[in-house]
Structure 1
Amino acid sequence: MPQPELRIRRAVPEDEEALARLDLVTWSHLHAVTPRPRPEDPFFTDRVRPFDHFVAERAGQVVGYVRLGFPTELASNAHVRQIRGLAVARQARGRGVGRALVRAAVAEARRLGARRISLRVLGHNVPARALYESEGFVVEGVQPEEFRLAGKYVDDVLMGRSLV
């Protein structure tokens, strides 16, 4: 049976509940350095707005998102965009959702005139690293044992790609 069509769109305020739920159920030390979100935590804040996200929808259900922002607040760094979050529902993994979201982020960064796009990924997150590499990102640096998660030291891998 064919999969319903995947739709990538900009997030809207009404997506808050679905995105917060997705964050809650997908949270893992495989990709998160922050504490587990609580059900009452807002997804959108003054610093993390709907406009900063693309949402993946299949059959009317939110199955993923990507957050795009700046790596720093410095004007001298404004030509770079950064993927600052990516989540895909378990049942949607391995079906092109993450790839479609990464491509949407790259396209948006280009549309905004960025010269580069970067991201940070934990060294032990092999599936995410493989996805990013397959989309043209390269390892630009490694911060060894940057985080201690679930009792283990984990590398922070810096990846990026040119958009020009």
Structure 2
Amino acid sequence: MPEPVIRPATHADDEELAELDRRAWSPLHAVKPRPQPPYEPFFDARHPPEHILVAESQSLAPGLVGYIRLAPVTRLICNAHVRQIQGLVVDDRVRGRGIARAMLRAACAEARRQGARRVTLRVLGHNAPARALYASEGFAVEGVLPGEFLLEGAYVDDVLMGRAL
């Protein structure tokens, strides 16, 4: 069986995903402050398990080593053909092994399965590795919100990317 396995998340993954999210926090990709106790659950009404695919490993670093959040952009019927990637995280211990690319491809396949025709995402302008990954998988810059976020004393662009399925 190839490593890691990408599968839909379940409610049982909540604690492990929350811990992975805290470990992977970085100003390179996070717009929210570093998580502090008391920690909130990973899943909530806006982010249910059915919007998450996880990468699970038995040998690289046993357990969950990544996740990608794929959700409808809005509740509007006229926008139901679009899905948005609202987060992609890979455990630092297993970076550079193609896990992000595999999850991105799995998310696009899942979006297609759901009937979507487009996938969009937002990425911070200074996150060059993520932007390069997305571009290599067919995502194009569709807009830039200059200086949209003030992160650690610097203004950072919000880059909007998308691709057809």
TM-score normalised to the size of structure 2? 0.93
Structure 1 unaligned regions, length at least 5: none
Query: What is the CA deviation profile of residues 61-82 of structure 1, one whole-angstrom value per residue up to 9, with x for unaligned ones?
Result: 1000000012223222111000
Alpha-carbon separation, structure 2, partners of 1:108 and 1:158: 21
- Structure 1 runs, 4 residues or longer, greater than 6 Å off: none
Identity of aligned residues (%): 62
SS of the equivalent of 1:110 reads helix
Match in the other structure for 2:50: 51
SS of the equivalent of 1:121 reads strand
Alpha-carbon separation, structure 1, partners of 2:142 and 2:133: 16
Structure 1 residue 6, shift from structure 2 partner: 1.2
Alpha-carbon separation, structure 1, partners of 2:43 and 2:108: 22
SS of the equivalent of 1:15 reads helix
Alpha-carbon separation, structure 2, partners of 1:33 and 1:77: 25
Match in the other structure for 1:33: 31
Between stretches 137-146 and 65-74, larger displacement belongs to 65-74
Output the amino acid matched with 2:33.
P
SS of the equivalent of 1:136 reads coil
Structure 2 unaligned regions, length at least 5: none
SS of the equivalent of 2:44 reads coil
Match of 2:106 among 104, 107, 131: 104
Q: CA RMSD in A?
A: 1.1
1:68 aligns with 2:70: yes
Alpha-carbon separation, structure 2, partners of 1:30 and 1:5: 26
Name the count of aligned residue pairs: 160
1:1-164 alignment runs, 5 A limit: 5-39=3-37, 40-59=39-58, 60-163=62-165
